[in-house]
């Protein structure tokens, strides 16, 4: 018997690990009222990390066949779900095809569409807090710990020709397993990457400490591992030293946020700019909601500030 029951009202799904703990479960109803999405509801679907492919296929098949199931946002399982259910997608957008991942499922004209929205949402988030010309002016590098969908998207954004010389002088990606690093290298080669990239197998935090120690001043250090949200802890040790004037970005905004705490303890001493994942959360969700419900949602200015304010107020309830 299927775990899924036919939807009785317009339904949007959140495919993750601990979806009930996310503030989006309180935020979405407030956003739906603000955006005029009458009767729309958000439902969580939880899977363990690297779930059985059949579990992903069952979820995608249900959404595809159920008339009132309109689409989904996918976190954590972006690559695994894509690989498991690729043949179920009627349309795959160019980003998803290149990156072999999906962060969004939508329907158009009876077809199930697979999207990779992270290249857009991560770029909007990063460009919102990183000064224009940062890499060009400082020669800074980038370390992204974790070789999943977020790192794929962030490095894609930073390698775009339109950025001109404003790209990292070197990108370092670490991961606990080799296959994800190999897949990221394949994607970068397919893109014709114009930035030097080092792919480092780091199966213990001390190796991430060492990678961080090799960075130039002003470099960006990203926790894209899920540690601090999907699982407790941090990819670095308390002894890990951030580069001077570094930008420390934790893609998480909830959880035990150990990496964020580690960065804040060094903020004054090392002159760090410390960013959490809240704006990334906002852009990630609003980009997918816009696609699933076929509406326009602002990405900046007072209308976007209203969306952020509504989310903050709802999250506190």
Instruction: Average the pLDDT over 68-72 and give the result.
Output: 98
11-115+279-316 and 120-275 share one CATH topology? yes
Whether 228 has a pLDDT exceeding 90, the answer reads no
Mean pLDDT of the chain: 94
Phi, psi of 118 (to 5 degrees): -60, -35
Residue 57: exposure state from Cβ atoms within 10 A (0-12, 13-18, ≥19): middle
Encode pLDDT of 245-268 as tens digits.
999 999 988 778 999 999 999 999
The predicted pLDDT at position 148 comes to: 87
Whole-prediction pTM value? 0.88
Coil, helix or strand at residue 14: strand
The predicted pLDDT at position 316 comes to: 82
Given a contact cutoff of 8 angstroms between Cβ atoms, the answer to whether 142 and 171 are in contact is: yes
Tell me which residue has tokens 């976190």. Answer: 75
Residue 80: exposure state from Cβ atoms within 10 A (0-12, 13-18, ≥19): buried
What CATH number labels 11-115+279-316?
3.40.50.10860
- Quick one: which H or E segment has residue 54? helix 53-65
Q: Tell me if the domain spanning 120-275 has CATH number 3.30.70.20.
A: no
Encode pLDDT of 10-52 as tens digits.
999 999 998 988 889 999 999 999 999 989 999 999 999 899 9
Tell me which residue has tokens 């775009």. Answer: 160
- The pLDDT confidence band at residue 222, using thresholds 50, 70 and 90, is very high
- The pLDDT confidence band at residue 110, using thresholds 50, 70 and 90, is very high
Tell me the domain boundaries of the chain.
11-115+279-316, 120-275
The predicted pLDDT at position 255 comes to: 77
CA distance 80 to 231: 17
Instruction: Average the pLDDT over 223-236 and give the result.
Output: 84
Instruction: Average the pLDDT over 108-132 and give the result.
Output: 93
Question: Helix, strand, coil % (nearest 5) of the chain?
Answer: 45, 20, 35
CA distance 193 to 286: 29
Nearest to 250 by CA among 267, 226, 233: 226
The predicted pLDDT at position 286 comes to: 96
The predicted pLDDT at position 88 comes to: 98
């Amino acid at each position: 018997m299927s775990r899924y029951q036919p939807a009785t009202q317009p339904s949007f799904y959140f495919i993750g690990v601990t979806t009930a703990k996310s503030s989006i479960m309180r935020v979405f109803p407030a956003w739906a009222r603000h955006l005029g999405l009458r009767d729309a509801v958000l439902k969580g679907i939880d899977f363990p990390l690297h779930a059985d492919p059949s579990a992903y296929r069952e979820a995608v098949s249900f959404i595809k066949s159920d008339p009132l199931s309109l689409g989904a946002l996918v976190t954590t399982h972006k690559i695994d779900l894509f690989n498991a259910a690729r043949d179920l997608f009627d349309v795959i957008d160019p980003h998803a095809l290149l990156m072999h991942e999906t962060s969004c499922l939508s329907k158009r004209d009876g077809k199930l569409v697979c999207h990779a929205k992270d290249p857009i949402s991560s770029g909007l988030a990063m460009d919102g807090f990183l000064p224009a010309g940062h890499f060009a002016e400082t020669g800074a590098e980038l370390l992204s710990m974790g070789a999943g969908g977020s790192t794929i998207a962030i490095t894609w954004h930073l390698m775009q020709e339109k950025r001109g010389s404003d790209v990292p002088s070197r990108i370092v990606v670490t991961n606990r397993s080799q296959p994800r690093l190999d897949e990221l290298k394949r994607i970068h080669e397919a893109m014709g990457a114009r930035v030097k990239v080092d792919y480092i197998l780091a199966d213990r935090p001390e190796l991430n400490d060492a990678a961080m120690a090799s960075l130039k001043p002003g470099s960006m250090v990203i926790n894209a591992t899920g540690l601090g949200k999907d699982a407790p802890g941090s990819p670095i040790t308390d002894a890990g030293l951030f580069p001077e004037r570094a930008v420390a970005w934790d893609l998480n905004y909830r959880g035990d946020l150990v990496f964020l705490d580690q960065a804040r303890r060094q903020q004054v001493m090392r002159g760090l700019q410390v960013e959490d994942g809240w704006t990334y959360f906002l852009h990630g969700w609003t980009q997918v909601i816009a696609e699933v419900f076929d509406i326009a949602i602002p990405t900046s200015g007072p209308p976007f500030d209203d969306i952020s304010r509504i989310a903050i107020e709802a999250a506190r309830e």
